[in-house]
């Protein structure tokens, strides 16, 4: 099951980030590498991530150059993880995500950061996907398995009071 989830994670990220060219674009996955569950999960993650968060946006702006440099020299995984960890320890963000479980909150950070990074650094999308997949497979794989796989994860959108209403 672990290998299947890792494969699905890659497929989900392909759907999520490859089709991110403009907000509101229908999500279309390559049918050769995707099944209906993968497509549905990617759509749910996009909706989940589209409830943008100012704290994550500001951090992305602050870390953009470091992330870009790290991705370019093959150290994107480490920098991406560092940014996610710093965001998860951010008091303002912790308060905003407190209504979610810790794993869902972490997933929210990864998705929003990944979408924002892909938007800000479009030439680095393959490296961003790799960094996201590595992070998810290391930090959240066990939780995804215990949840019964990606399709069984319950995602909540951020409430309007926690978002400025703007998205990528």
CATH of the domain at 86: 1.10.437
Model confidence, pTM: 0.80
How many domains does the chain divide into?
1
Any domain includes 160: no
Per the rule left: phi > 0, alpha: psi between -120 and 50, beta: everything else, 8 is: alpha
Provide the terminal-to-terminal Cα distance of the chain, rounded to the nearest Å: 34
Q: How confident is the prediction along the chain (168 residues), in pLDDT tens digits per residue?
A: 789 999 999 999 999 998 654 455 555 565 444 477 888 899 888 887 776 567 777 777 888 888 888 988 888 889 999 999 888 888 888 887 778 888 988 998 899 889 888 988 899 999 999 999 999 999 999 999 999 999 898 876 544 344 443 333
Any domain includes 29: no
Q: Is the dihedral of CA 53, 117, 67, 10 positive or negative?
A: positive
């Amino acid at each position: 099951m672990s290998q299947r989830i890792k494969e699905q994670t890659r497929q989900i990220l392909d759907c999520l980030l490859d089709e991110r060219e403009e907000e509101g674009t229908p999500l279309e996955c390559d049918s050769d590498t995707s099944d209906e569950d993968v497509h549905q999960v990617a759509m749910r993650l996009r909706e989940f991530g589209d409830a943008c968060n100012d704290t994550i946006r500001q951090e992305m702006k602050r870390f953009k150059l470091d992330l870009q440099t790290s991705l370019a020299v093959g150290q994107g995984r480490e920098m991406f993880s560092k940014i996610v960890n710093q965001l998860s320890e951010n008091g303002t963000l912790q308060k905003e995500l407190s209504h979610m479980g810790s794993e869902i909150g972490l997933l929210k950070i990864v998705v929003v950061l990944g979408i924002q990074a892909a938007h800000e650094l479009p030439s680095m999308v393959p490296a961003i996907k790799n960094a996201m997949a590595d992070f998810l497979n290391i930090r959240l794989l066990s939780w995804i398995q215990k949840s019964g796989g990606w399709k069984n994860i319950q995602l909540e959108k951020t409430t309007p009071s926690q978002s400025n209403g703007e998205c990528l």
